[in-house]
A and B are shown apart, each in its own frame.
Chain A
Amino acid sequence: MNVTMFIPCFIDLLYPQVGISMVRILERLGHKVDCPELACCGQPAFNTGYWHESREVAGRVIEQLHDAEVVVIASGSCGAMIKVFYPELFAGTKHERMAQELAPKCYEFSQFLVDKLGVTDLGVSFPHTVTYHDGCHSLREMHIQEAPRQLMAKVRGLQLIEMSQTVCCGFGGTFSAKFPAISTAMGDVKCSLAEETHADYIVSSDSSCLMHLQGLIDKQGRSLKTIHLAEILAPS
């Protein structure tokens, strides 16, 4: 399969290892991967209410991705933007049809492996106790819940302990800077829930959530660690 990757800005710059892991996994599975030079998906402007400015950026993304066979997005949040929100953002504009045609071709990474490729066992091991954070966009916009868990279930040595509540990490994009006190409180609650599981790692499919949690963990000197699912699944 010809896979076109969408690498979000924060993975490009802050967590390249996440994107590199995905490329390695997909290539190892025999797919041809392309990573075109794309800009931002437009979510920061969209979520802040600047839909016009968001369309200016997102319109180019749509045009560049339109001919792809499948698009794999390295984040549930950007994935939700492209797959779920583009059709709404472009309703009544010249890109409307392109947005609708693009949506069914888009997958978040874990969703692509499990739901599209039917792959759950990547033959890797990760001998640690982990807990999984469902990014809200992955969970409630993309409806991804089982795929990452199926993948983790096949990782040798990995023990998954679920948190007692499914709750937002408090990042929320610009929310984290507009309402830092609430954002921090939410992150605190999340870290405490993760600590209750006695896991070594918080695993997620969203680097932006992990950036927020790791930022808090480092500042507060907590012993938790964060890791993206793709980094666990990548061949060593």
Chain B
Amino acid sequence: MNPHARQFNADARRLSADLRHRGIINTALNKYAIKRDEKKALFQDWEGARQTAAEIKWDALSHLDQNLEKLAKTLEARGTRVHWASTAEQARAIIVGIAKAKNARAIVKSKSMTSEEIHLNDALEKAGFEVVESDLGEFIVQLRHEAPYHIVFPAMHLTRGEIRELFQKELGDAPSDNPEDLTLVARRVLRKKYVQADLGITGANFAIAETGMVSITENEGNARLTAALPKTMITLLGIEKVLPRLEDLALFLPMLATVGAAQLISGYNTLYSGPRQPGETDGPEEWHVVLLDNRRTALLADAEQRDALHCIRCGSCLNVCPIYRNVGGHTYGTTYCGPIGAVITPHLRGLRDWKHLAYASTLCGACAEACPVKIDLHHRLLQTRRNSVQEKPRWWEKLAFKGFAVIANRRPLWRYFITQGGRLGQRFHPLVKGTRLDPAYAWTKTRELPPIAPQSFKEWWRNRS
């Protein structure tokens, strides 16, 4: 078993039995679900909205080359520097290079899962820069030296008390565990950082090809300060985020708010179209947009699974996933967790190392049902399983299913195998039941096996006719 799978199994075992963890996650997500459904009900036709969103995304990706060229051209026309990064390494080098060229002393950053994907903070810190996360949740997990627990709610696994202790320890200031008090502590620290920073790094939610704009959604105003105060701004953008038209945002912004954070519309939705223009009094002097591929084009080339690029990183598939809700975000061991993570991680980081995520699912389909852009998530997991078997089957599994096929196709043998074999097995089972010798141990450790019927259905049917 590869180390990633081993880590997943160990953490999943531990956390799925952790009732305190289950309570924290379920309480948070049950509250979210109630509010999300209230907001969804305000759409005249939610299913129609999903269909339209999926079609816009499909169209945008089908013309990705043209959309990206148009985006770059319109961005550059207003003085933005556009950089193309094929790999995470290139993107890191571009950003570290800009930080060095600008002689940046302090860097402030707003929330960006794409930056997590390329481990940008590590690279900047190794190069000697101080980076501060300005989104409250990200600020908290950064203080804990942790990765975000959730795509949208990075610190959802922590209680107020734990955050208070953390602030007391790391910042020496935590008057109470009241959320407002804690927010004010973080705000006091962050306000200073914004003023000191000479470089601001942001992610992006959407980019508009038609008008050359980047759209950033947030609830704390931190991304606006990150973009507005430092002299230089860098935006890291996965290439799948491009939309053709400005009017597309009329659907995508309320949709993202609804399923992402159970809001009608997010607190701040800002469109950035260039650095400070002549005659303007604020905004960064320089704006660099780094367009990141990092295997997205390889996923685009997979005709079966390319709808995974529709993803708008709303996290709604995580919120409804019974696996995520029991094992939590860190267990996945990779940037994108939950169902979408299980689908795209094998594409981004290699099938052989990450196929176990596709198997860690009952294929219940709650994710696909929740996805606002209609990614057929659980069927993608099925295909990933097939692909992983095609690439490298497990010999014993292959043997077992070969044997299964041989026996199942010989009816008398099959009948005998499952009926008599089952009865024989059941007779001897008590000898080993519950011990490590029990072949059904994985089941019987926590569950009883049903008794085999004295007369099977087929025996009943034959006797009757």
Contact = CB atoms under 8 A, between A and B. Distances in A.
Contacts of B365: 136, 139-141
Nearest to B448: A218
Contact of A167 (B363, B366, B408): B366
A177 interface: yes
Contacts of B6: none
A218 to B, nearest CB: 4
B401 A48 contact: yes
B465 to A, nearest CB: 9
Interface string B355-369: 000011111111011
B386 A57 contact: no
A222 B17 CA distance: 18
Interface string A9-20: 101111111011
Contacts of B419: 12-13
A122 interface: no
Contact of B446 (A40, A54, A219): A219
Residue with the greatest number of chain A CB neighbours at <10 A, chosen from B322, B323, B397: B322
A57 B323 CA distance: 30
B414 A168 contact: no
A165 B86 CA distance: 43
Nearest to B390: A49
Contacts of A14: 450-453
Given A49-B389, A50-B401, A181 B16 contact: yes
Contacts of B448: 214-215, 218-219
Contacts of A185: 16-17, 22, 326
Contacts of B451: 14
Interface string A207-224: 000011011101100000
A207 B325 CA distance: 25
A53 B409 contact: no
A16 B419 CA distance: 12
B362 A214 contact: no
B385 A47 contact: yes
Contacts of A167: 322, 364, 366
A126 interface: no
Contacts of B22: 185, 189
B402 interface: yes
B457 A20 contact: yes
A180 B453 contact: no
A173 B359 CA distance: 11
Interface string A27-55: 00000000101011010111111110110
Interface residues of B, number: 64
B297 interface: no
Interface string A172-202: 1101111111111111010000000000000
A184 to B, nearest CB: 4
B404 interface: yes
B134 to A, nearest CB: 35
B411 A39 contact: yes
B375 to A, nearest CB: 14
Given A53-B401, A53-B404, A212 B447 contact: yes
B17 A181 contact: yes
A40 B418 CA distance: 11
Interface string B96-140: 000000000000000000000000000000000000000000000
A48 B384 CA distance: 10
B428 interface: no
A15 B460 CA distance: 12
A184 B446 contact: yes
Contacts of A166: 366
Contacts of B386: 49, 51
A44 B385 CA distance: 12
B360 A182 contact: yes
Interface in B349-400: 359-366, 368-369, 382, 385-390, 393, 397-398
23 contacts: A12-B458, A14-B451, A16-B453, A20-B457, A35-B457, A37-B458, A47-B382, A50-B389, A50-B401, A136-B365, A140-B369, A167-B322, A167-B364, A168-B362, A168-B366, A170-B322, A175-B362, A177-B443, A181-B12, A186-B326, A189-B326, A212-B447, A219-B446
The 3 lowest CB-CB distance pairs between A and B, nearest first, are A172-B362, A215-B447, A49-B385
